[in-house]
Each structure stands twice: as structure tokens, then as C-alpha cells.
A and B are shown apart, each in its own frame.
Chain A
Amino acid sequence: MASSTEPNDRLSLFRVIATDIHFWIPLIVLAGGLLLLDNLR
């Protein structure tokens, strides 16, 4: 069970998230949205 929030666990958690392709899709879309917003204002 992923119940601990010790620093090492947190690090490995972020590593797992960073290697999940699903994470990069919304992140890239968010970055694109922010860029677009910057051009609009």
C-alpha cells in the first residue's frame, strides 16, 4: 500500500509521476495554454 509520505517515498513518487506519459500530456497542454494567454493579454 502506498501509505507512507517519507522523503524517499515522495522522491520515488515524483519519479513515477515524471515517467508517466499521461502526466506530460496535460502538462504540455497547460504550458501551451499559458503561452496562448500571454499572447492574448
Chain B
Amino acid sequence: MQTARLRSLQALGIFCGFAAGAWLGGAEAPIKLINPDISPVTVSLIMVFGVFLARWSVPAFVRGTSHVRYDVRQAPHLVVWAVLAGCMWAVANTLTIYAIRNVGLSIAFPLWNTNSLLGIFWGFLLFNELHYAGWKRWLGVLGGAVCMFGGATLLAIASSHQAAPGKATLGILAALGAGILWGTMYIPYRKAYLTGMNPLSFITFFTVGELATMTTLAVIYRGVTPLWNELVGARAVLFWLMLGGFVWVIGDLFQQYATKYVGISRGIPLSNTNQLWGLLWGILVFHELRGSGQTVYAQVAGGSLLMALGAVAIALSSATEREHSSWQDAAQREGKRYGVEGEYVRAGMEGRQFGAGPSDRTLLDWILILGTTALFVVLAVMARLPHLDIAIGWAVALTIAMLALLATCGIALWRTTRFR
């Protein structure tokens, strides 16, 4: 790959990581509007419904589902990997609910945030990431991730409103378990993108595992009839939860592109800046820290600064040509193992089109786009906005900032890779 192309892809991946942070953090906003009486498992299930719809309609809108079929014909094994990753996500997400319940957000969040450190470990061990990177880049990535971990800890303590913890050991195990599951989930991610699969294709199968696992867990934990009654009773907030799921998918999509172009060791810590955005929504829009003491504000300022410094350190430690060539070795190994055409693998890594490929959207695409839109319109009509003290001006400002990031990063992705 030419040096200029490598640099532009690295810059694109880093940009995607920051955009992912904004959208993943913004996804927390609609959830804050929800009545706490609804069980966490049901909340998670409804969000996953929204995620499922978004994961099929967004790719249909951006490239058309014929591209998904085309990708699967090239690398059919990745369907299995994507479903496996989706199952892991659902189990991890359910574990976080138990973790928060047992030890509170302040302890749970930093523990599951260790996923980025595990991501760096798997990236190095299995996919040749950070090989021949030099000590400066090692320091940038590892130091940045540790810095972000410290910042996340401070922010979580500051934003915690939890009661005294009970069942502490189980809660800590749940939080660590979620971190291990999410950190290991990046193995399928990296596997897919080294082989050349398009993120838009990967997520459509990922979500099958996600929805199937979440539905099974919800049925087991709640029972069919109580679950149905709870879903019917929650119809006034279905829109907000599914909107949260939809926004989350946009963030996740950027995270997938970041993973593809800068690897898991850099992409995941960068998208963990979502905690900063979640905190911005909490403080500015929902007045969450109103009346807090100076110590809390000092923790917020210190934590935010640490996270920002960590993210900048990682962003400045992009892969060198030598490191990238070792990624290519890992990609060749994958292609050889699964019998994927070499040119398809190379084209995927370089963010360019392989072969002619399908061009038009099909009837199925329009059905997915219009069907999802219609469903969201119906849910929006049924939705009720709870009586909360919300700063609308700040909500509009943050939404505009997120949309600006979506537009600029989307344009950059289109110009550089045509969403490859």
C-alpha cells in the first residue's frame, strides 16, 4: 500500500473512533427518559430490537443489501464469527446490568472498561498489532489506554449516585466478566476486517446473534407472559428505547470502521471516549451533578482531562508502514486458512472496491428502509415525553455536534473508501 494511502486510512480510522465515542455516548440520552420501574432486562431487549432494525436498514440505505450477499459469498465463514460476536455482546450487556445493581456504576464501569486493555492484548497476540511499532507508539497506545482507564474511574466515581453496594463479589465478577466478554468480542471483529469484510455486512449478522441471545435471556429471566405484559405496558417509551438503540448502532458502525482501519488496539480505546459524551449529556441536559460539591467537579474535570489526554496519545500513535506490513501478514494467514481470494483481502485492507460488485438497491432494501421508518413514526406517535427537567438548548447543541460529526465522518468515509 502506498504511504499516502496508509496515512489517509489511519487518519480516517482515528476520526471514526472519535465519532464512535460521540454517538455511543449520545445513545445514553434517550434511555435517561425511561421510567425506572421497567426491568433492566426488558429495557435491554427493547433497545436490541431498535439495534436490530438499525443494523439492517442502515446498510440497506448506505450500500444496499446486495453488497451484504456479495461479501458473504466471498467470506462465508465470517457469518459464524459475526453471530458469535453478537451473542457475546448480549451476554456482556446483561452482565453490566447485574454489575451496576450489585456494586454501583462507579466500581462497575472502570472494571468493564478494561475491555480496551484486553483488546490491545488480543490485537498484539493474534493479529500482529503493535509489532515493530517502536517504544514511542507502544507508550502512546498502552499509556493512553491506561490514562483513559484512570480518567474513566474518576468520571464513574463522580457520576455515581448508587446506594451502598451489596453482593460485592458477584457484582465485581459480573463487571469483570463483561469487560472480558467485550474485550474478547474484538477477536471476531478483527478477524472479519483483516479478511476484507465490509463493516456494514458484518453488523447485519452480528445482530442476529445479539437479538437471539437477548430474546432467549429475557424469556428465561422474565417468563413469556410477564415479558409480553411489560412490553405492552412500556409502549409509551418504546420509541425512546429503540431510538437509543438506533443511535447506538451509528456509533457502533463508526467503531467498526475504526477497528478496521486502525485495529482494535487503537480503535477501541478511542471509542471509549463515549463516557465523556455520556457525561456531557448527563451534566448539561439532565442536570445530573447539580448541587454537587467541589470534589465531584474536580473529579469530573480531572477524569475528563485524563481521558482526553489518553485519547490524544493514542490518536498520535498511528501504525507505521512496518507495523502495517505485519497486519498484512496476519491478513494473508486468514485468507489462506479460509480460502478467501487474496485480492479481496487486499482490497478490503486498502478500503477499495473488489471487482465490479452489485450497484443498485433492490426492492428488499426499500422495504427495509420504509418499514423501519414507518415503525419509528408509529412508535413516535405513541410516545410520551416524561416530565423531566431537561435543558432543551443543550440537547439541541449536542445533537447538532453529533450530526456534524456524522456528516463529516460519513463524507470522509465515502470519499476515502466508498464505505468499504
Contacts A2-B339, A17-B77 known; A26 to B174 CB distance under 8 Å?
A: no
Contact residues in B for A20 (Cβ distance below 8 Å): 337
The reply to whether A17 and B80 contact each other, CB–CB distance below 8 Å, is yes
User: With the chains together, A31 CA to B259 CA distance in Å?
Assistant: 25
The reply to whether B94 and A29 contact each other, CB–CB distance below 8 Å, is no
The reply to whether B74 and A3 contact each other, CB–CB distance below 8 Å, is yes
The reply to whether A16 and B337 contact each other, CB–CB distance below 8 Å, is yes
Within 8 A of B (CB), among A4-32: 5, 13-14, 16-17, 20, 22-23, 25-27, 29-30, 32
B92 within 8 A of partner (CB): yes
Instruction: State which of A2, A13, A33, A40 has its C-beta within 8 Å of the C-beta of B92.
Output: A33
Chain B interface helix/strand/loop/mixed: helix
Within 8 A of A (CB), among B163-204: 170, 173-174, 177-178, 180-181, 184-185, 187-188, 191
The reply to whether A36 and B173 contact each other, CB–CB distance below 8 Å, is yes
The reply to whether A41 and B84 contact each other, CB–CB distance below 8 Å, is no
B382 within 8 A of partner (CB): no
B340 within 8 A of partner (CB): yes
The reply to whether B98 and A2 contact each other, CB–CB distance below 8 Å, is no
User: With the chains together, A3 CA to B71 CA distance in Å?
Assistant: 9
The reply to whether B337 and A30 contact each other, CB–CB distance below 8 Å, is no
Contact residues in B for A17 (Cβ distance below 8 Å): 77, 80
Listed from nearest, the 7 A-B pairs whose CB atoms lie closest are A33-B91, A2-B339, A29-B184, A1-B341, A3-B73, A40-B98, A36-B177
User: With the chains together, A30 CA to B332 CA distance in Å?
Assistant: 27
User: With the chains together, A5 CA to B94 CA distance in Å?
Assistant: 34
User: With the chains together, A14 CA to B76 CA distance in Å?
Assistant: 10
Contacts A1-B74, A2-B339, A16-B338 known; A26 to B184 CB distance under 8 Å?
A: yes
The reply to whether A41 and B76 contact each other, CB–CB distance below 8 Å, is no
B85 within 8 A of partner (CB): yes
B157 within 8 A of partner (CB): no
The reply to whether A33 and B88 contact each other, CB–CB distance below 8 Å, is yes
User: With the chains together, A37 CA to B170 CA distance in Å?
Assistant: 10
The reply to whether B126 and A22 contact each other, CB–CB distance below 8 Å, is yes
A13-B77, A26-B187 given. 4 additional CB < 8 A pairs?
A: A1-B339, A2-B74, A16-B338, A41-B221
User: With the chains together, A13 CA to B177 CA distance in Å?
Assistant: 30
User: With the chains together, A1 CA to B75 CA distance in Å?
Assistant: 9
User: With the chains together, A37 CA to B174 CA distance in Å?
Assistant: 8
Contact residues in A for B87 (Cβ distance below 8 Å): 30
B313 within 8 A of partner (CB): no
Contacts A3-B74, A17-B77, A40-B174 known; A29 to B181 CB distance under 8 Å?
A: yes
Instruction: Kindly provide the distance from the CB of A30 to the nearest chain B CB, expressed in whole angstroms.
Output: 5
User: With the chains together, A17 CA to B83 CA distance in Å?
Assistant: 13
* Most A C-beta atoms less than 10 A away, residue of B177, B180, B221: B177
User: With the chains together, A29 CA to B88 CA distance in Å?
Assistant: 8
| A–B Cβ pairs within 8 angstroms, 20 of them | A2-B74, A2-B76, A2-B339, A5-B73, A13-B338, A16-B339, A22-B126, A23-B84, A25-B187, A26-B84, A26-B184, A29-B181, A32-B177, A33-B88, A33-B180, A33-B181, A36-B95, A37-B94, A37-B98, A40-B95
Contact residues in B for A34 (Cβ distance below 8 Å): 91
Contact residues in B for A41 (Cβ distance below 8 Å): 98, 221
Contact residues in A for B77 (Cβ distance below 8 Å): 2, 13, 16-17
Contacts A3-B74, A13-B77 known; A40 to B91 CB distance under 8 Å?
A: no
Instruction: Kindly provide the distance from the CB of A37 to the nearest chain B CB, expressed in whole angstroms.
Output: 6
Instruction: State which of A2, A14, A30 has its C-beta within 8 Å of the C-beta of B91.
Output: A30
Contact residues in A for B126 (Cβ distance below 8 Å): 22
Contact residues in A for B338 (Cβ distance below 8 Å): 2, 13, 16
Contact residues in B for A25 (Cβ distance below 8 Å): 122, 184, 187
User: With the chains together, A34 CA to B75 CA distance in Å?
Assistant: 28
The reply to whether B91 and A37 contact each other, CB–CB distance below 8 Å, is yes
Contact residues in B for A26 (Cβ distance below 8 Å): 84-85, 88, 184-185, 187-188
Contact residues in A for B95 (Cβ distance below 8 Å): 33, 36-37, 40
